[in-house]
Structure 1
Amino acid sequence: MSKVFTEKSSVILMLLLVLVTGKSFANEVIKVSDNFYHIDDKKRIIVVNQKINNENSGLNEYKSKILLDKTYELGEPTNYFDQTKSYIVKFDNVSYTLYFTELPIININTRNTIVDAPSVFADFSISETNGNVSNYAVGIEYRGGTSQSRPKKSYELSFLTDTLSAASRDVSFLGMRNDNKWNLQALYNEPLRTRSKVSNELWLDMHSLYYKDKEPEAKCGISMAYTEVFVNNEYKGVYALSERVDRKQLKLKKYSNSITGELYKGSYWDKPVVYSGLYDFNNSKLDWGGFEYKHPDEKTDWSNIYSFVDFVINSDDQKFNEEYAKKFNIDNAVDYFILLNLLRAGDNTGKNLYIAKYKVGEPYYYVPWDLDGVFGTDWTGGNSSYTEDILSNGFYDRLLKDRSATGFCSKLATRWRELRGSVITEEYIMAKFKRDNEYLKNSNAYEREMIAWDEYTYKDSGMLYIQVWLKNRLAYLDKTFGQYESVLSAKTSQNDLLKIYPNPASSYLLVDCGSQSYELCMQDINGRVVKAYTLTGRENTVDVSDMPKGMYIATLKNNKETIKKKVILR
């Protein structure tokens, strides 16, 4: 068959298709700009993050080809590319799976072998669906301890002016900080690839540094943003580009002829890092007792943190209770203890945790790190469905013994009730998980993750698992933290002692009646009685799941007094 005859036949066929189907094949080739497509020839996948659907084009204008590095034939012509779907395209009888994604794509190319250390030179580019493209020279190395044993590796990136001078340069990505150091988190041990990001967001929502007024740009944790990564034209899957915990992030004071700000990382398990034992340090080394020395660079001196660990372990009860709030920021200690137990972050009681000091004379405080084995998973990524325990370390063990009116337990109970009305609710937390899950799912990222990593399987049931786990965990913490009350003055009224929480609530209320019994009457804003209960004993769980959302008056009455409290159900 002659080439001329074939071409004429194709034209005739197109005309017949237009007549029969009403589909137009004018401008049948769609072109993607060079920076917005990435091809893995081994896995036979193509990922595009350029917005190419034209809302003004007619629905009958079908495309049968796509121009990338070459022109590929679509297996089936289409007039709209859906991110939730995949498409088969061919070139020279070789089939590829074509995807469209909303995620930024990072492309890294290097002629060197990437290792743990030292970093090697590479070219880095990032393309965003808004059309932004950035190119940089970087140094790249693997990061993390346990993560390096996994097939999907995390990376540390150092941004450079060029590969000749290797001078550092600060860059900013996706609304995050301006800095020369960035991490690419592999998320390999997270079944939904969402737990780390949600956990770090929750910390930023619930806590801010006590010296924020002096250092407005200081952050008490890190922000993260999803990306997809190619390394040397190999698709590596979904990653989180993240900020780092360092002096710059926390705005710690710099070294000035002597140590001012301090920063240590809990890098491995040992007695000092969990306050269970003490031994001498060596200033010629950058690690001691599970801690890694991070700041300052100019001088290594372990004596300050040694003294604090010594104080926690060896001071008598009177001295400890009198002085701990001067040595460690108590509000930070409370918030981190709540975060630790909300997430049930078993790998973060000493290891995977930073301890910092803003400047000389100021207290230490905690900064969370590597929040992955959380929300019902362990450090391997496997399910850990147990919810009824409290995580601690030697420092918190001592704090929990302080039941004074203004002590740790009193602050813990007050802060828990406060957060249960805002950040720590099932609805608020699950909304974050749903947002990220749908973002990845709607870009088909989970399907590509399964192509990239044979060991990974995405399960829709993962969201339900988190929700059930969270509901059970919150119920347990409500009961447990409700017991951490101060030993208050005998003059304190029963109205002050009586507690109803969480408030706002969604499915249940916990009512702490102290030592008395009450009749509880729930009235709506019109005064109508919706429900009534008899409460006995200190703790009572009241089911309100079948009550309409809104504001109610909870009236508690016995033969001595009547107490009214506002309750919001949402």
Structure 2
Amino acid sequence: MTLLFPAVQATAGDTLAIAPAYYHIDQAHHLIVINKSVAALNTESPGAKTHLRLDQTYTFPQPQAVWQTNVSYLVELGGTPYKLYFTALPVAHISTRHAIVDSPSVYAQFSLSESNGTVTQSDLGVEIRGAYSQSFPKKSFELSFWNDTTGAVSRDLSLLGLRTDNKWNLQALYNEPMRLNSKVANELWKEMHQVYYKSAEPDAVSGIAMTYVELFVNEEYRGLYALTERVDRKQLKLKKYSNGIKGELYKGSDWGGAVTFTGLPPFDNTSDIWGGFEYKHPEEEINWTNLYNFVSFVKNSPNEEFYRDYAKRFDITSAVDYYLFLNLTRAADNTGKNIYIAKYKTGDPYFYVPWDLDGVFGNNWAGQPDTVTTDLLGNGFYDRLLQDCSPTGFRALVHKRWVELRKNVITQPRIVEKFRANHAYLRTNNVYEREGSTWSGFPFDEAHLTFIGAWVQSRLSYLDGAFGQHQQCASVLSATSAVAATGVQLYPNPATDFLSVEAHTPEAEVILRDISGKIVLQARLKSGSTTLDVRHLAKGLYVATVLTNKTVKTEKILLR
């Protein structure tokens, strides 16, 4: 075979030798990633190098003397060119002989290499996670670390400075244009809010931490992922089951009426699903009674009872902070679905925990730009809370907290700097080039940072008008229903043949788009209830936008 470059005999002085813990090779795509510190390499092995020793000895067509993470290098092995990268990011490997599916978990071996030389290895079970995100070509994974090959005994590990646990998630970030949204939003939430029982449980946190890694699956490079903690009993330090339910945890996993406090379907304690909620804790007993009673209280209690007791039933600091966070990020996919409701112990109030924060800061759940900045998001619970106009009521607390957070936490420069810092980290390590070469649909555009900055500024300007000053409203004793307060409700969801839109306003319009953004239905609405025939539309996910003379409401609709 004729080599592309003349063969040169390797010697110690002209060879860059990398220990196995640091190099990662995708032979099929001729890609090499080395995550040993370039500063250490430049110090430990000075001088021009003509060879690279990994599993075999590769040749540099041009001698290289300085190693950087923001460029790529060409090396050659037996006439085949390879692209070589250096990165400071941890590199994870998942190796399995089984097809990785949604469920159940399949046995695999896991390793995680850090730039300081630390290597963590374990048996594990791995499965694909997510709902709509499973339709993307780049899959997210759920990892369950095992103490053996059977999974009979779990294994707790501490990874990358995050918590010690046996379960982790690898988020694909596929629908985030710069792979930044979830990380920035979660960082911001934890700065905005702490659980109210922190003094009793110092290790309890209000949300999850996440850190970037690069992933290989069966020696194939899969690109950038976020290794994340999970929202669970251990994260929140909820009380364990002990001869009965103490702490509680429920995940908003679907757009049922209970998660948005717009419906109250009957429950079945033999099922772990109810009204859009998924039962999470305790595992020892499924009993929906407590949550059912709370949803019923929100939806059906008389005004006098609701406004007298809601602060006893739901932690008001959580309600306020999540409402501000929901609207600051404009997380339209997180008003009911993609929220956890938890209770620390018997007799305590419920509180919110955010989750799955990809559709935020001008990016929707499908990964498309969303330029809307002049609306307010909520649900049936918030619709009622916003009618509390008392001097120390919900509206007053929203105003007070907004003014407080605007001083140093919620500012445009500070939020944008979070995006810039995370972007700089990925950019400096040339992650975007590898991501683009691995996933052809990756829509990286440097100008997106400018878009985010402008979007945040516009959103803050609008919210300053909404929250930054005391707002007048009618007495709660004469407050109308949640639908009348907001003017809009869509049901049922999921829908089959017909979709009803309730709009208590003289002028309104509904627009239904498919996941590509194409308008598939558009109609004027009459005041009251309008029924739309959707039998001609294909089954699947759609986005409904209802425009009135005062508000814009966006909601994801499932047709089945």
**Shared topology, TM-score over 0.5?**
yes
Q: Which residue matches 2:97?
A: 111
The reply to whether residue 275 of structure 1 matches residue 261 of structure 2 is yes
Q: AA paired with 2:451?
A: Y
Aligned pairs (5 A) from 1:261-340:
261-340=247-326
Measured in 1, the distance between the counterparts of 2:311 and 2:186 equals 25
Query: Is it true that 1:455 corresponds to 2:441 in the alignment?
Result: yes
Shift of 1:151: 0.5
Higher Cα Rg, which structure = 1
Asked if the contact 1:406/1:486 (under 8 Å) is kept, the reply is: no
Deviation at residue 88 of structure 1 after TM alignment: 0.9
Counterpart of 1:251?
A: 237
Output the aligned Cα RMSD. Answer: 1.7
Cα deviation code 1:289-343 (max 9, x no counterpart): 0000001111111111000110111111111100000000001000000000000
The equivalent residue for 1:191 is: 177
Report the secondary structure of 1:229's partner residue: strand
Q: Helix, strand or coil for the counterpart of 1:64?
A: strand
Residue pair 2:31, 2:84 contacting (<8 A) in 1 also: yes
User: What's the counterpart of residue 22 of structure 2?
Assistant: 36
Distance in 2 (alpha carbons) for counterparts of 1:241 and 1:26? 38
Could you tell which deviates more after superposition, 285-294 or 41-50? 41-50
Which deviations, in whole Å up to 9, do the C-alpha atoms of 1:444-479 show, x marking residues without a partner?
000000111011131110111100000000000001
CA offsets 1:470-494 (integer angstroms, 9 cap, x no match): 0000000001113444789xxxxxx
- Answer whether contact 2:171 2:226 (CA < 8 A) is retained: yes
**Aligned runs of 1:28-67 on 2, under 5 Å?**
28-52=14-38, 53-56=40-43, 61-67=47-53
Q: Which moved more, 1:450-459 or 1:196-205?
A: 450-459
After superposition, the Cα gap between the structure-2 partners of 1:77 and 1:240, relative to the gap in structure 1 and judged at 3 Å, is same
- Is the Cα–Cα contact under 8 Å of residues 245 and 285 in structure 2 kept in the other structure? yes
Match of 2:374 in 1: 388
Alignment pair present for 1:163 and 2:122: no
1:440 has 2:461 as partner: no
Deviations 1:530-565, CA, capped at 9 Å, x for gaps? xxxxxxxxxxxxxxxxxxxxxxxxxxxxxxxxxxxx
Aligned equivalents of 1:65, 1:484: Cα separation in 2: 69
Letter in 1 for 2:270: S
* Alignment of 1:468 onto 2:447: no
**Pairing 1:226-237 to 2, within 5 Å after superposition:** 226-237=212-223
Residue 226 of structure 1 aligns to a residue whose secondary structure is: strand
Matches within 5 A, 1:400-439: 400-439=386-425
**For 2:333, what is the secondary structure of its paired residue?**
coil
How much does 1:54 deviate?
A: 4.0
- Is the contact made by 1:354 and 1:367 (CA closer than 8 Å) also made in structure 2? yes
Alignment-derived partner of residue 148 in structure 1 = 134
Matches within 5 A, 1:489-508: none
Question: Residues of 1 paired with 2:260 and 2:150: CA distance?
Answer: 44
Q: Secondary structure at the match of 2:455?
A: helix
Secondary structure of the corresponding residue to residue 13 of structure 2: coil
Whether the aligned pair in 2 keeps the contact of 1:109 and 1:123 (CA below 8 Å) is yes
- Match status 1:73 vs 2:59: yes
Displacement after TM superposition at 1:123 (Å): 0.6
Matched position secondary structure for 2:391? coil
Contact 1:409 1:486 in 2 (8 A): no
Question: CA 1:255–1:155 in 2, change beyond 3 Å: closer, same or farther?
Answer: same
Question: Which amino acid is 1:39 matched to?
Answer: I
The letter of the residue matching 1:475 is S
Residue in 2 that maps onto 1:239: 225
Superposed, 1:479-490 pairs within 5 Å as: 479-485=465-471
Q: Is the 8 A contact 1:140 1:157 kept in 2?
A: yes
**Counterparts in 2 of 1:483 and 1:57: CA distance versus 1, 3 Å:** closer
Gapped runs of 5+ residues in structure 1? 1-5, 15-24, 489-570
Percentage of pairs with the same residue:
52
Segments ≥4 residues shifted beyond 6 Å: none
SS of the residue 1:27 aligns to: helix
Q: Secondary structure of 1:215's match?
A: coil
Code of the residue aligned with 1:368 in structure 2: it is P
The correspondence for 1:398, drawn from 374, 381, 384, is 384
> Does the Cα contact within 8 Å between 1:355 and 1:366 map onto a contact in 2?
yes
Tell me: CA distance 1:57–1:253, structure 2 relative to 1, closer, same or farther (3 Å): closer
Check whether the contact 1:405–1:487 (CA below 8 A) recurs between aligned residues.
Answer: no
Letter in 1 for 2:74: I
Length-normalised TM-score, structure 2: 0.81
Partner of 1:125: 111
For the residues of structure 1 that align with 2:396 and 2:331, how far apart are their CA atoms? 23
Q: Does the CA contact (< 8 Å) of 1:407 and 1:486 recur in 2?
A: no
Q: Secondary structure at the match of 1:347?
A: helix
Do the aligned residues in 1 keep the contact of 2:107 with 2:150 (CA within 8 Å)?
Answer: no
User: How many angstroms apart in 1 are the aligned matches of 2:263 and 2:151?
Assistant: 46
Equivalences for 1:492-531 in 2 at 5 Å?
A: none
Does the aligned pair in 1 maintain the 2:124–2:151 contact within 8 Å? no
> Which consecutive residues of structure 2, in runs of 5 or more, have no partner in the other structure?
1-5, 475-560
